[in-house]
Chains A and B, each alone.
Chain A
Amino acid sequence: DAGITQSPRHKVTETGTPVTLRCHQTENHRYMYWYRQDPGHGLRLIHYSYGVKDTDKGEVSDGYSVSRSKTEDFLLTLESATSSQTSVYFCAISGRPGTGGSHNEQFFGPGTRLTVL
């Protein structure tokens, strides 16, 4: 267990409502990531963070925003949820202190199942 939690674990919401998912880590890893998992697509990177207040877009960032105000928390926001954002969302971390970024093994949280009606 890499000390990653996600909240909520399950959420059902309606189209057009804002939704925020939280990822919390206790490992002091530098990098944090948000992925979505859909059948037939594997995992796709939404956004990632390489430090506090430093974020960048992944391959499927449209409709999502992120914030990282402290090392341990990375928030994913859907400003106005759509049915196409129904998915399982995984947070991941990497960059264990002291490794110097020699490799980038990522450790995954338990996931959040989001349903947009």
Chain B
Amino acid sequence: ELKVEQNPLFLSMQEGKNYTIYCNYSTTSDRLYWYRQDPGKSLESLFVLLSNGAVKQEGRLMASLDTKARLSTLHITAAVHDLSATYFCAVEPDTGKLIFGQGTTLQVKP
């Protein structure tokens, strides 16, 4: 059974601090996606990682993919309150079928 596991599931951090969210998966996949969800809202696409070693950055967020280790990371630099949300990773073992992690709820405190 394919599993996608995120950790931590909940993260409370102070503004200005750095932290990393981990996404481990149990089968081969060259594609990994990160999404953001605000409470009561839909999912917003953040990053699309399409190959081993891919790294993408947008503002204070940086995502990377290591397909050999079956690991993706989402690094947060100098967190601000606006980054408070739930973050999901998803892998694509078969074309069109995404398997999502449980989500990591990030709370950034002033």
Q: A and B: partners?
A: yes
Report the count of interface residues on B (CB-CB < 8 A): 23
The docked-state distance in angstroms from the alpha carbon of A112 to that of B42 is 10
Report the count of interface residues on A (CB-CB < 8 A): 24
**Number of residue pairs spanning A and B whose beta carbons lie under 8 angstroms apart:** 53
Most buried by A among B33, B41, B42: B42
A106 within 8 A of B: yes
A70 within 8 A of B: no
CB distance from A40 to the nearest CB of B (A): 6
A48 within 8 A of B: yes
B97 and A45 contacting across the interface, CB-CB below 8 Å? yes
Given A42-B88, A103-B48, A105-B33, A48–B100 Cβ distance below 8 Å? no
| Candidates A44, A94, A109; contact of B100 at CB < 8 Å | A44
B88 and A50 contacting across the interface, CB-CB below 8 Å? no
CB contacts under 8 Å to B, within A14-69, are 31, 33, 40-45, 48, 50, 58-59
